Structures are given as C-alpha cells and as structure tokens.
C-alpha cells in the first residue's frame, strides 16, 4: 500500500493541483520546476557544481592519508604516549561526529551553500593550526577540529548533489562525489612523496598540513560562486531565488521562470511523508514511523562500514609497517616514503572500486551492491589473516598481503562506501535531508572513531591478527544489518521516494 504524502501544499481551488508522483500532490508550478531539474541534460554547470561540492570528500581522503603518513614523522619530533597517539588518530574522525550532526541540521535551517562556506573556512584555520603545533595535545585538538569541518561537509555535499543533479545522472554523480575520497588519498600520496623528496627532515609533516589548508582555501573561494540548492529554496518558499538558481543549471527562458516565481510567490514546496508545518520539522522526525526504517538502514551499516574503513585506511601504513613493509629503509623519511608508495598503490584500488561503483550502483541497485561489498570486505580481511598465519608470516606472503588490501578496498568502494553515502540523501525529504544524512554520517563517524581508537590498542595487545579478526566480524555485521533493514531501491526521483511505501 502506498503512503500518501501530506497534501498541505495543494494550491487553492483556482489553481489546479498536479500529481508529481503517486500520492505527491503539489502546486503545478513547483511540479514544473522539479521536472526541469530532473529532466535537464547534464551540462557544464552541473559538472562545476559537482566538483565544488566534492571538495569536502576529497579533503576527507586527503586528511586521512596525510595524518597516517605524518604520524611516524610526528612521533620522531614530538614525544607521544600510546594513548595520545590513539587520540591523535581518533580525534580526526571523532570531530566528524559533531560536525556531521550539526552540519546537516544547519544545512536544513540556513541553507546548503552557507554550510559549504563555513566548513571550508573552519578547515582552513584548523589545518594551519595543525601545521604550527608544538606539543601533542594541541595537534590532537587541531586535528579534531579538522574532523569537525569535514564532518559538516558530508551531509551537505550529498544533499546538494541529490537536489541539483538530473534524475538519471543523480546516482552516478553522488558515487563520483564520494569517490573523491580516493582522489584525495592519491593526491596526498603524490604530495607526500614530493615533499619527502624536496625536504627529507622529520619536520616535513608540517608542510603536509599546509597543503591541506591551501586546498581548503581554494574551495572556500570557489564555492562563493556556487548557487544555492533550488529544492531547498523552494522548500522555504523562496521561489524567486530558486528560479535564479535553476537558471544557473538549465538554459531555460528566464522570463518563463520569472513568471513561475511570480505565481508561486512565497508558497513553500512540500513533498514529505510527514505533515507540513509552519515550523521546520523537529530532529525527532527522522525517527517517526514513516522514516524509522530508513534511518536504521542509513545508520547501522554505515557505522560498521566506517569502523572498518577508517580503522584500516588511517593505519594502512601502520599495518604495513607491522608486516615489515619498508623496514629495510635506513631513515625515518625513507621508511615513510616506502610506506607511502605501498599505501598509494593500495589506494589506487579505492579509486578503481569507485569507478566500478559509478556503473554498478545504478545498474544493480544500492542494496545489492552494499551486500556484495560487505562480503568482499570480509574476504579481503580473511586473506590478510591467512597471510599472517602461514609459515613465515606476512613478510613471506607479500602477494597475499597486497591481494587482501586490494580486495578490501575494491569491494568497499564499489559497495558500502558508495551506497551508504547515497542512500540517506535519497530516502529523506528536502526538509529533513540534511538532518537525516547528517545523523547517519555522525553515527558512521562514531564507528570510525571506535575503529581508529581501538585498532592501535588491539594491535598493541594481541597483534595484527586481532585487528583482522575484528575487521572480518565488522564487515559481516554490515552485511547482516543491510539485509535486515533493506528497502526497495529501484531508481526513483527524490519525490517518488516520498510516495513509495518502502517498509
């Protein structure tokens, strides 16, 4: 049985209502604007908007890789205790918990573009602070603030891309947005190798964070030219601004758009499974009956995926070091260069996984690819576990070590690392999209924090074997929770997602 979206946005009797999707009845001019957005050809302005929106996910991968490579250099210059080192790694993702929760909610209140600018400014200042750090706790605090900024960007970027891209291209462009993580990692690897070549001293790690600040500064300035999300503007009744934003994306006659804006005046666009109100929906709306299953699907698998992803991603270099990869290097910088080369090679398969995901997620569906991905992640970690148990250990099983890492990264990115980012932005309505995506990302970063914090402690207590067993269990739990909370994930417009009974 289909759920009928609230009819509070039906126009007066003198204006015929229009059915945008089964059960979604809206003002005909709003339906026209939504149709223009959904059916537009993909043009250069769409690609520019995608690129600028992807800055946060690019910097996410960049910052994780940079910190992973900086840690061995930092401890050679600044004395860290074991617990301080754990907090350094965990702080980056712990900050993202607060950032994602507040950024998504803010984006629903003050707009997508405002948060886009705020988080890049915050990231710029935090990265510069990290470059100037002189003692452990100051570096921990600045890296935590970097995480806050990155966390803020996650729900905003997914919401903005979902709301602005043409319907037939939305899934691919959203996967391409999260794929920017791997581009950021590869860019970081190239910069690390270049900086180590130019300046091999231990303090070179400070330049890692300066590079991060410069990239943030570029996106801060460039995003000032970005138009606000038309769907968000319409949801606030700011229809004249909405048609101006649409004109940036679509070569439509401006006079026709202005006439539409005049007719709509301040009528808000409402297509949601909750009743319309004069006040913004409460945060608790994502736990109401129409959205409870979607919230569980958006959060539980993402929590488990990030626990594995960030734990392995941030400490790939540490794990390779524990397996004696690059141990023959005579100096710290030479050792880091060897680890960067090994990690960078492994991260190439992150990008390959995303490239497969851009094609496969749309073709085979979000849920199926998420299930396949979690299964492949468990397989990759199992191969790594086997390499540690065979005679000679991982030092004698280099091929298995790299096969395990490669499979883990490949399946992760063609599956859950793509789909967990896409699903929240599609399953929640415009009025709750940032809130829902932000809550899901915040819960995911709790998982990431646990993974990053626990991994070095487990490694210190029981060795690499304990880490790998934990990652296998986490991946299998991700598969199970996806199956339990699965929904019908056929291709739909954002408004059709609000009409369909997915429970």
pLDDT exceeds cutoff 90 at 221: yes
Q: Calculate mean pLDDT across residues 152-167.
A: 95
Q: How many Å apart are CA 141 and CA 138, to the nearest integer?
A: 5
Listed range (229-238, 267-276, 282-291, 456-465) with the worst mean pLDDT: 456-465
**Per-residue model confidence (pLDDT) at position 109:** 94
Range of weakest confidence among 120-129, 306-315, 342-351, 377-386: 342-351
Candidate ranges 311-315, 340-344, 496-500; pick with highest mean pLDDT? 496-500
Tokens of 457: 């402690």
Per-residue pLDDT, 433: 95
Which whole-number Å values give the CA distances from 122 to 107, 152, 178, in the listed order? 16, 10, 21
DSSP codes joined into one string, 375-387: HHHHHHHHHHHHH
Whether the CB-CB separation of 1 and 202 falls below 8 Å is answered with: no
Q: Is the pLDDT of residue 13 over 50?
A: no
Instruction: Please report where in the chains the tokens 């210059």 appear, as a residue.
Output: 77
- Distance separating alpha carbons of residues 370 and 417, to the nearest angstrom: 8
Alpha carbon distance 48, 54 (integer Å): 10
Superfamily of domain 44-229+290-493: MFS general substrate transporter like domains (1.20.1250.20)
Averaging pLDDT over each range in 110-124, 201-215, 442-456, which range is the top one? 110-124
Cα separation of 28 and 16, whole Å?
7
Q: Please tell me the predicted confidence (pLDDT) of residue 4.
A: 39
| pLDDT of amino acid 343 | 60
Q: What is the mean pLDDT of residues 373-383?
A: 93
pLDDT at 10 over 50: no
E-only strand ranges, 39-195:
none
* Tokens 């915050």 found at: 122
Q: Answer whether residue 437 shows pLDDT above 70.
A: yes
pLDDT in tens, 17-45: 566 655 566 788 898 999 999 999 999 99
- At residue 5, the pLDDT reads 41
pLDDT in tens, 85-113: 778 877 888 899 999 999 999 999 999 99
Which residues, listed in sequence order, are joined to residue 21 by a DSSP beta bridge?
24
**In this model, does residue 390 exceed pLDDT 90?**
no
Greater confidence (465 vs 367) lies with 367
Q: What percent of the chain has pLDDT over 70?
A: 84
Residue 293 scores a pLDDT above 80 = yes
Local confidence band at 313 (pLDDT 50, 70, 90 cut-offs)? low
């Amino acid at each position: 049985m289909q759920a009928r979206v609230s009819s509070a946005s039906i126009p007066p009797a003198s204006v015929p209502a229009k059915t945008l999707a089964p059960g979604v009845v809206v003002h005909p001019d709003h339906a026209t604007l939504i149709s223009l957005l959904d059916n537009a050809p993909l043009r250069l302005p769409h690609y520019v908007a995608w690129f600028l929106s992807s800055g946060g996910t690019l910097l996410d991968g960049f910052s994780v890789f940079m910190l992973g490579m900086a840690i061995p250099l930092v401890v050679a210059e600044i004395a860290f205790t074991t617990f301080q080192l754990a907090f350094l790694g965990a702080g980056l993702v712990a900050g993202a918990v607060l950032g994602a929760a507040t950024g998504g909610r803010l984006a629903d209140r003050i707009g997508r573009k405002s948060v886009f600018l705020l988080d890049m400014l915050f990231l710029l200042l935090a990265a510069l602070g990290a470059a100037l750090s002189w003692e452990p706790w100051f570096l921990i605090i600045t890296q935590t603030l970097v995480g806050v900024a990155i966390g803020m960007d996650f729900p905003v970027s997914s919401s903005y891309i979902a709301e602005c891209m043409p319907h037939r291209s939305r899934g691919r462009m959203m996967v391409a947005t999260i794929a920017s993580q791997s581009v950021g990692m590869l860019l970081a690897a190239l910069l690390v190798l270049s900086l180590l070549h130019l300046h091999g001293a231990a303090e070179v790690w400070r330049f890692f964070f300066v590079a991060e600040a410069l990239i943030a500064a570029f996106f801060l300035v460039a995003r000032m030219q970005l138009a606000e999300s038309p769907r968000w503007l319409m949801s606030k009744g700011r229809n004249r601004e909405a048609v101006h934003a649409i004109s940036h994306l679509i070569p439509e006659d401006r006079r026709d758009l202005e006439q539409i804006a005049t007719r709509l005046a301040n009528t808000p666009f409402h297509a949601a499974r909750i009743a319309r109100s004069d006040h913004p929906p409460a945060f608790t709306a994502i736990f109401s009956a129409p959205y409870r299953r979607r919230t569980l699907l958006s959060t539980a698998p993402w929590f488990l995926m990030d626990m594995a992803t960030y734990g392995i991603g941030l400490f790939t270099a540490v794990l390779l070091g524990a397996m004696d990869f690059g141990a023959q290097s005579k100096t710290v910088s030479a050792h880091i260069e060897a680890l960067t080369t090994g990690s960078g090679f492994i991260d190439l398969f992150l990008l390959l996984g995303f490239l497969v995901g851009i094609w496969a997620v749309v073709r085979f569906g979000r849920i199926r690819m998420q299930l396949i991905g979690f299964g492949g992640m468990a397989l990759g970690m199992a191969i790594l576990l086997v390499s540690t148990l065979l005679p000679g250990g991982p030092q004698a099983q280099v091929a298995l070590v790299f096969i395990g890492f490669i499979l883990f990264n490949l399946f992760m990115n063609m599956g859950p690392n793509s789909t967990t980012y896409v699903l929240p932005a599609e399953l929640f309505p415009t009025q709750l999209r940032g809130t829902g995506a932000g809550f899901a990302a915040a819960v995911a970063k709790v998982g990431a924090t646990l993974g990053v914090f626990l991994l070095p402690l487990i490694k210190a207590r029981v060795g690499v074997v304990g880490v790998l067993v934990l990652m296998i269990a986490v991946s299998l739990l991700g598969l199970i929770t996806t199956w339990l909370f699965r929904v019908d994930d056929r291709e739909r417009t954002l408004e059709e997602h609000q009409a369909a009974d997915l429970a």
